[in-house]
Amino acid sequence: MRILISSPRKRLVEEIKRRMVEEGYLVDETFSLRDASAYFQYRNFDLIIVDEEEGRPKLYNFLVETREQLPFTKIIVIGAGELGIEEEIKLLRVGADDLIREPLHYGLLSARVKAHFRHWEGNILKIDNLKIKRLEEKVLYKGKSTDLKGKAFEVFLYLAEHPNQVFSKEQLLHSLWKEPDLVTPNVVEVAINHIRKKVDKVFKIVTIETIRRRGYKFCYPNKKKE
- Residues of the chain with pLDDT > 70: what percent? 96
Q: How far apart are CA 15 and CA 28, in angstroms?
A: 13
Indicate yes or no: pTM above 0.85.
no
Does position 28 have pLDDT exceeding 90, yes or no?
yes
State residue 35's pLDDT score. Answer: 94
Q: Using one digit for the tens of pLDDT, what is the confidence trace for 63-118?
A: 999 987 876 688 999 998 888 888 988 998 888 989 999 999 999 999 999 888 76
- Report the candidate in 117, 93, 124 with the shortest Cα–Cα distance to residue 3: 117
- Report the candidate in 23, 182, 144 with the shortest Cα–Cα distance to residue 3: 23
Mean pLDDT of all residues belonging to the chain? 89
Q: How far apart are CA 86 and CA 91, in angstroms?
A: 9
What are the structural domains, with CATH classification, of the chain?
2-116 (3.40.50.2300), 121-218 (1.10.10.10)
Q: What is the DSSP string of 37-66?
A: HHHTTT---SEEEEEGGG-HHHHHHHHHHH
State residue 121's pLDDT score. Answer: 59
CB within 8 Å of 170: residues ≥ 6 apart: 42, 180, 185
Q: Using one digit for the tens of pLDDT, what is the confidence trace for 185-210?
A: 899 999 999 999 999 999 999 999 99
Does position 175 have pLDDT exceeding 60, yes or no?
yes
State residue 126's pLDDT score. Answer: 85
Which residue has better confidence, 146 or 226? Answer: 146
State residue 72's pLDDT score. Answer: 67
Q: Using one digit for the tens of pLDDT, what is the confidence trace for 142-151?
A: 989 999 999 9
Q: DSSP strand E in the chain: where?
A: 2-6, 26-30, 47-51, 74-79, 98-101, 120-121, 124-127, 130-133, 138-141, 144-147, 208-211, 215-218
